[in-house]
Structure 1
Amino acid sequence: MITCNRFANHLLRCAGALSVACWFHAASADDSGSPWAQDYFPNTELITQDGKTVHFYDDLIKDKVVAINFIFTSCTDSCPLETARLRRVQQLLGDRVGKDVFFYSISIDPQTDTPEVLKHYAEKFHVAPGWLFLTGNKDEIDALREKLGLFLKGVDDQGNKDHNLSLIVGNQQTGRWMKTSPFENPYILAYQLGNTLHNWKHSTKTTDYADAPQVRPPSTGEEIFRTRCAACHTLGGADSVAAGLREIGPDLIGVTRKRDPQWLQRWLREPDTMLAESDPIATELYQQYNQVAMPNLRLGDEAIAALLGYLEDETQRVQPLPTKEAEMSAMEHDPAHHHHATN
Structure 2
Amino acid sequence: MRRYWAALSVLLGLCGVFLWSSPVGAQQVQPRWGRDYFPNVVLQDQDGRSLRFYDDMIQGKIVSINFVYTTCTDICPLDTAQLREVQRILGDRVGREIHMYTISINPERDTPADLRRFMRSYDVAPGWTFLTGSRADIDLLQRRLGLRPVGERNLRDHDTSIIVGNERTGQWIRRSAYESPRLLADLLARTLQNYATAPVNPRLSYSAAGQVADTSQGAYLFRTRCRSCHTLGEGDRLGPDLAGVTRSRPHAWLARWIREPDRVLAERDATALALLSRYRNVPMPNLGLNEAEVNQLIEYLERQDQAAGAAPNAASPRR
> How big is each residue's C-alpha offset from its partner over 1:259-310, in whole Å with a ceiling of 9 and x where there is no partner?
1222212211222222122222111101000111111223222112111111
Find the counterpart in structure 1 of residue 230 from structure 2: 233
Establish whether residue 86 from structure 1 lines up as the match of residue 83 from structure 2. Answer: yes
Cα gap change, 1:30 to 1:106, in 2 (>3 Å): farther
Deviation, structure 1 residue 220: 0.7
The structural deviation recorded for 1:229 is: 1.2
Per-residue deviation at 1:46? 0.4
- 1:160 corresponds to: 154
Letter in 1 for 2:166: N
User: Residues 114-129 of structure 1 correspond to what in structure 2 (within 5 A)?
Assistant: 114-129=111-126
Task: Show structure 1 runs of 5+ residues with no match.
Answer: 1-26, 238-242, 322-343
Greater radius of gyration (CA): 2
8 Å contact 2:162–2:175 — kept in the other structure?
yes
Is the CA contact 2:106–2:152 (under 8 Å) kept in the aligned structure 1?
no
Per the alignment, in what secondary structure is the counterpart of residue 91 of structure 2?
helix
| Alpha-carbon separation, structure 1, partners of 2:211 and 2:37 | 41
User: Aligned in 2, Cα 1:100/1:319: closer, same or farther, shift over 3 Å?
Assistant: farther
Residue 260, structure 1, aligned to residue 250, structure 2:
yes
Task: Give the direction of change, closer, same or farther, for the CA distance of 1:212–1:131 in structure 2 (3 Å limit).
Answer: same
CA displacement, residues 85-131 of structure 1 (integer Å, 9 cap, x when unaligned): 11111111111111111110011110001101111111100011111
Pick 1 or 2: higher relative contact order, CA cutoff 8 A, min separation 6. 1
Structure 2 contact 244–310 (Cα < 8 Å) conserved: no
Confirm whether residue 170 of structure 1 aligns to residue 160 of structure 2. no
Q: Which moved more, 1:261-270 or 1:115-124?
A: 261-270
Whole-Å separation in 2 of the counterparts to 1:286 and 1:215 = 36
Aligned residue for 2:65, secondary structure, equals: strand
Matched residue type, 1:141: I
Q: Which amino acid aligns with 1:112?
A: R
Deviation readout 1:132-173 (Å, 9 max, x if unpaired) = 110011101111111111126xxx247412211111101112
Does structure 2 conserve the Cα–Cα contact (< 8 Å) formed by 1:268 and 1:296? Answer: yes
Q: How do 1:98-137 and structure 2 match up within 5 A?
A: 98-137=95-134
- Partner residue in 1 for 2:292: 302
SS in 2 for 1:40: coil
The alignment status of 1:189 with 2:184, answered yes or no, reads yes
Query: Which residue number corresponds to residue 318 of structure 1?
Result: 308
CA distance in 2, matches of 1:98, 1:280: 40
Relative to structure 1, the CA distance from residue 172 to residue 306 in structure 2 (aligned partners, 3 Å threshold; closer, same or farther) is: same
Q: Closer, same or farther in 2 for the Cα pair 1:29/1:142, shift >3 Å?
A: farther
CA 1:30/1:183 → structure 2, altered by over 3 Å: closer, same or farther? farther
Q: Answer yes or no: is 1:274 the counterpart of 2:268.
A: no
1:17-56 superposed matches below 5 A: 31=29, 34-56=31-53
Cα gap change, 1:94 to 1:219, in 2 (>3 Å): same
2:293 counterpart SS class: helix
Deviates more, 1:214-223 or 1:254-263: 214-223
Unaligned runs of 5+ in 2: 1-24, 312-319
Amino acid at match of 1:308: I
Q: In the alignment, which residue of structure 2 is the partner of 1:329?
A: none
Is the contact made by 1:28 and 1:37 (CA closer than 8 Å) also made in structure 2?
no
In the TM superposition, residue 213 of structure 1 has moved relative to its aligned partner by 7.2
What code does the residue aligned with 1:103 have? M
Q: SS state of the match for residue 36, structure 2?
A: helix
Alpha-carbon distance between aligned partners in 2 of 1:201 and 1:186, rounded to the nearest angstrom: 20
1:59 alignment partner in structure 2: 56
2: distance between equivalents of 1:253 and 1:127?
25
CA apart distance, 1:38: 3.7
* TM-score for the superposition, normalised by structure 1: 0.75
Counterpart amino acid of residue 113 in structure 1? D
For residues 177 and 143 of structure 1, the distance between their equivalents in structure 2, rounded to whole angstroms, comes to 17
Which stretch of the first structure deviates more once superposed, 227-236 or 107-116?
Answer: 227-236
RMSD of aligned alpha carbons? 2.7
Contact 2:43 2:52 in 1 (8 A): yes
Percent identity among equivalent residues? Answer: 47
SS of 2:81 mapped into structure 1: helix
